Amino acid sequence: MIPSLHNGITALKSLSQGLQILGNNIANVNSLGYKSSRANYSDNFYLHLNDAESGADGEPSNNIQQHGTGVHVGSVSSNFNQGTIEVTGLDLDLAIQGEALPNGGGFFEVTDPVTGELFYTRAGAFEATNQGFVVTRDQYRYQLQGVDNALTVAVPETQTLLARRVEEDGVINLVVHDSAQKKDIVTKVGQVKLVNFLSPQYLRRVGNGFYSNGKAGQNIAGISANPVPATGSNGKIKQYALEMSNVDLTNEFASMISHQRSFQAGSRVVTTSDMILSEAVNLKR
């Protein structure tokens, strides 16, 4: 196989991976809390047929021959900038308003009540169970964590729930009517916990807008010690709203066109190399 054929094949293989990432971004343009990804390309190792060396007179030789062996996807990075905020009107729809803060202001922490496994998400679509626990609004029903374990918005039988208020700093207050006291009272029932990471690129995507920080006992992304919203590098909690995907379709389509042209060029290299090989084979006839 001539080297140019191998180089063209590596281009097609790498660009196919890049197109897969672009396609996933575009497919999730309306997914809650989705963060876009980007393929970072790098050149492969080089074949050094003749390197620069100092001669007897101290002058380096200029007969340098370094041949590349193609391209590969060096890494896939995630963009954790904040997505657009959409107002919904539901009181347990929460968005993290981080804007220019690192990692967009942090993540909600949720746990699997069966296994105890922790996950992190920007999709703040929550609801309350009949036991009062605040859980994700999907088939997983993961429990939203507060500063002091799982959050609950349960109301005693002697009280009637009038409203739920979530402040910017994550404090959850219940406005209830107390039948015994015959008046409306405001009660603090918990505080939403936010988790920020020192190295968010190490987070592992597990689907459904959830990220994992490794197996039990691991801390591969480096959790920040501050769990309180609206302080430090943590964003503010915005009630009655959800964060949408941060995918920019304009950039994605432009990148798709660039990938298409590069793919065509790579396929041209493969075609030309194949023609050269065919000519070489025909020389024996």
**pLDDT tens-place string over residues 27-53:** 999 999 999 999 999 999 888 777 767
CA distance 12 to 36: 22
**Predicted TM-score of the model (pTM):** 0.89
SS3 at position 184: strand
- Take residue 152 and report the two structure tokens written for it: 């609950």
Q: Bridge partners of 211?
A: 120, 205
Count, residues in the chain: 285
Q: What is the CA radius of gyration of the chain?
A: 27
pLDDT given at position 117: 95
Lookup result for tokens 């020389």? 283
Kindly compute the dihedral angle of the four CA atoms of residues 128, 86, 104, 224, in this order, to the nearest 10 degrees: -10
pLDDT, one tens digit per residue, over 83-128 is 999 999 999 999 999 988 888 999 999 999 999 999 999 999 999 9
Worst-scoring range by mean pLDDT, 55-69, 176-190, 238-252?
55-69
pLDDT given at position 58: 66
- For residues 272 and 265, the answer to whether their CB atoms sit within 8 Å is no
Cβ contacts of 275 within 8 Å, gap of 6 or more = none
Residue 55, pLDDT above cutoff 70: no
Note the Cα 138 to chain centre separation in Å: 19
Strands 71-78 and 171-178: unpaired
Tell me the pLDDT of the chain averaged across its residues. Answer: 92
Contacts by 251-254 with C-beta closer than 8 Å and gap 24+? 252/22, 252/25, 252/26, 252/36
Cβ contacts of 284 within 8 Å, gap of 6 or more = none
